Amino acid sequence: MTELTLYEEAMCCSTGVCGPDPDDDLVEVSAALDQLETEIDDLDISRANMQHDIDQFLETQRIYDLVEEHGPSILPITIVDDEIVAKSEYLSYNALKAAVTDRESAPEA
């Protein structure tokens, strides 16, 4: 099972895709995550929003340390199987898929 976790800044709802004029980046990443979840059977996707899931930030030392050191501008942070694959930006569908499939095809250590 491949795990993808997206740590995000505080937003009004869990995805930020709400209200009359949602941010285009949030719409795109939400659609990309939905598409990946549909296409890849062994993929577990979770999103941690700083406002709604603060415990997850506090319990994940590496994320806590990064936010403490750099402030919330370091968000979003994308992690695939405990490896940070992006900071301060949302990845495109193609970049997310590559990050996930590269780890799926990597030989076990």
Residue-wise pLDDT tens digits, 36-86: 999 999 999 999 999 889 999 999 999 999 999 999 999 999 999 999 999
**Complete domains list, the chain, with CATH:** 1-11+23-101 (3.40.30.10)
- Residue that is written with structure tokens 């004029």 in the block: 21
The runs of H, that is alpha helices, within the chain are 24-39, 54-59, 61-70, 93-105
Residue 99 token pair: 């990050």
Residue 33 token pair: 């995550």
Name the burial class of residue 80, with classes exposed (0-12), middle (13-18) and buried (19+) by CB atoms within 10 angstroms of its CB: buried
* pTM: predicted TM-score of the whole model, two decimal places: 0.86
